[in-house]
Structures are given as C-alpha cells and as structure tokens.
Structure 1
Amino acid sequence: MENNIEQLCFELISFSGEAKNCFLEAVDLAFDEKLEQAKEKVKEGKKFLKNTHNAHSNLLTASLNGQIQNESVLIMHSEDQFMSAENALVMAEKMIKLVEKLTDKYKEGKNEKN
C-alpha cells in the first residue's frame, strides 16, 4: 500500500512539473508575441494538469480509505507541486491576455498615427 501512495505522489509531482513547464513556456511565447503558440502550450499543459487531477483524486481516495496513516514529506511536496502548477496556469492565462491587450493597444495607436 505504501508503494502505491509513493507512486501516486511521484505521479503528482511529475505531471505537475510537466504542466508547470508548459505554462511557463506559454508565458515566454506570449512575451515573444507568439500568442497562438502560447495558447497551444497552455492546452498541452492542461492535459498534464488533468493527469495531475486524476493522481490527486486517487491520493485523496486512498486517504479517505485509511490507506494513508500519516502525512509524509513526499505527500506534502506533491501537494505543493500541484498547487504550484495550478497557480502557473492562472498566471499564464492572465499574461497571455495582458500581452494580447498590449499588442492590440499598440496596433491601435500605430494605426491612429497613420
């Protein structure tokens, strides 16, 4: 049982890391004004985040079934990585919107001068 819990934690950490990397890459792409690529990278990250949610649900189920007797550093770390990935998603989506707005404003200002 303990190995199963560890496996779930490692899945949570791995999928969270992959998701977070995608979201941070999306921000970099947005800053380079590659907005469509940035949005695609967010979609890719959301697929990893879905796997993260599944692993998290399994971990919660194990906890509810009494399979987790005490909190471990590994469980806390996996939960922290999960929350970090979710925060990165929110940040990436907001940054993409910000770059879109700034790009639109810049184009509007440029057109008004012509």
Structure 2
Amino acid sequence: MVNVEQIAGIAMTVITYSGVAKSCYVEAMRKIKSGNKEEFEAEMKKGDENFVLAHHAHLEILNREMTTAEPQITMLLAHAEDQLMSAETIKTIVIEMESIIEEVRGKNKDE
C-alpha cells in the first residue's frame, strides 16, 4: 500500500532541491552577464549538485510506484515533476545564453 506521507515527503524533497537548482542557474546567468566566469561556473556546479539530489529523490518515487504497482498522482507530486523539469529547462537556456554572451563579448573585443 502506498504511504502518502512518504510520497509527500519525497515530493517536497524534489521541490526543494529543484527550486534551489533553478535559483542557482538563474544566478549563474546573472554572473555570466556581468562577466564573472568563475562565479558562473560555481553557480552552475551548485545548481547541478542540487539537481542531482532532486533527481535521486524523483527516482525514489518512481521506484516506489513500480514496486507497489499502485500509481498515485497527487497535486504535490505533479508540482514536484513540474519543478524538476523546469529546473532542467532553465539550465539548458542558461547554457545557451552563456555561449551567446561569450560570443558577443568576443565580437565586441574585435571591434
């Protein structure tokens, strides 16, 4: 039988770590905009570390669902999924923005 309290606790873990990861990725974008490559890399690393923790918690929920054969989707779990995916999306955008910013900076130096 599915333990709703445990699922809720794991979902909150996913939400927490995903939220921190998103914040780190956004902060990384601010750092690269201001030209601070070292701080950009540090924020990205911190974001990645939190994303991995969120992902591990997410896998725990999936494994529990597989072993109990009782799928149960709650609004909290749906929110956790949303947070995890948006963190991944923001990371992808920040990586692309970083390359664009670096390219523009390079062109401006040449002028």
State if a TM-score over 0.5 links the two structures.
yes
The corresponding residue for 2:101 is: 99
SS of structure 1 residue aligned to 2:106: helix
Q: Determine which structure has more spread, i.e. the larger CA radius of gyration.
A: 1
Number of residue equivalences: 109
Offset at residue 71 of structure 1 (A): 1.1
8 Å Cα contact 1:35/1:96 also seen in 2: no
The corresponding residue for 1:78 is: 80
Residues 1:50 and 2:28 aligned together: no
AA partner of residue 16 (structure 2): S
Offset at residue 66 of structure 1 (A): 2.1
CA RMSD, Structure 1 to Structure 2 (Å): 1.2
Query: Taking structure 1 as the reference length, what is the TM-score of the superposition?
Result: 0.90
AA partner of residue 27 (structure 2): E
User: 1:2-21, aligned counterparts within 5 Å?
Assistant: 2-21=4-23
The corresponding residue for 2:67 is: 65
CA distance in 2, matches of 1:67, 1:12: 21
> Which residue of 24, 33, 36 corresponds with 2:26?
24
Give identity over the alignment, percent.
27
AA partner of residue 28 (structure 2): A
AA partner of residue 5 (structure 1): I
The corresponding residue for 1:39 is: 41
Query: Taking structure 2 as the reference length, what is the TM-score of the superposition?
Result: 0.92
Cα deviations across residues 55-96 of structure 1 (Å, max 9, x unaligned)?
A: 011011011112754211001000000000000110111111
